[in-house]
């Protein structure tokens, strides 16, 4: 009977460990980018840590998308408009919604380069903002943490 209790205890412990390592897939959106009436978004670049890219859900017409993971917990999600008509103005910046399906492991990742220090999974990045008119230069604006909106999901939305 004692050995049966040990087996049950071992199963329970394994279950706890598995639960702690469970992953949660989520749709990642970029929101809250404030634009003036003549401004547009021509690109975005997001660095991730402790996040696995499962799927690119949306490729906007006229945009090139880059998505991937490094050999460590780092990764990148980026998009760039290839032509001016694909820029996202203030009326269309909501097109940055539900772009990627990602997998976040317990919202934590280990940086082995830093002696095994644990860091929370994170998103940071910029959007390139331009102004319609004769000036073709853009400037990068840092995205706020609240700009990275994650919604639980098992798959990308139907297209």
pLDDT in tens, 6-28: 433 443 433 333 334 456 799 99
Average pLDDT, the chain: 83
- Residues 28-83 have pLDDT tens digits of 999 999 999 999 999 999 999 889 999 999 999 999 999 999 888 889 999 999 99
Residue 56: which of 70, 42, 41, 77 has the closest Cα?
77
Outline where DSSP puts E strands in 62-121: 63-69, 74-81, 88-89, 100-105, 108-111, 117-120
Q: Which residue has the higher pLDDT, 15 or 103?
A: 103
Exposed (0-12), middle (13-18) or buried (19+): which is 47, by Cβ within 10 Å? middle
Give residue 118's pLDDT: 66
Q: What is the pLDDT of residue 49?
A: 87
pLDDT in tens, 104-153: 865 555 666 666 666 677 899 999 999 998 888 899 999 999 999 999 99
Domains of the chain (ranges plus CATH)?
23-152 (2.60.40)
């Amino acid at each position: 009977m004692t050995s049966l209790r040990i087996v049950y205890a071992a199963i329970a412990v394994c279950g706890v460990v598995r639960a702690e390592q469970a992953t949660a897939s989520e749709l990642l959106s970029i929101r809250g980018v404030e634009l003036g009436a003549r401004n547009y978004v021509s690109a975005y670049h997001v660095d991730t840590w402790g996040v696995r890219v499962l799927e690119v859900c949306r490729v906007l017409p006229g945009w090139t998308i880059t998505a991937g993971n490094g050999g460590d917990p780092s990764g990148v999600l980026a998009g760039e408009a290839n032509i001016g008509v694909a820029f996202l103005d203030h009326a269309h910046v909501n097109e940055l919604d539900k772009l990627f399906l990602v997998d976040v492991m317990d919202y934590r990742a280990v940086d082995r380069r830093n002696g095994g220090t644990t860091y929370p999974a994170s998103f940071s990045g910029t959007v390139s903002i331009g102004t319609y008119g004769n000036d073709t230069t853009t400037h990068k604006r840092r995205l706020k943490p609240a700009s990275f909106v994650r919604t639980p999901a098992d798959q990308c939305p139907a297209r």
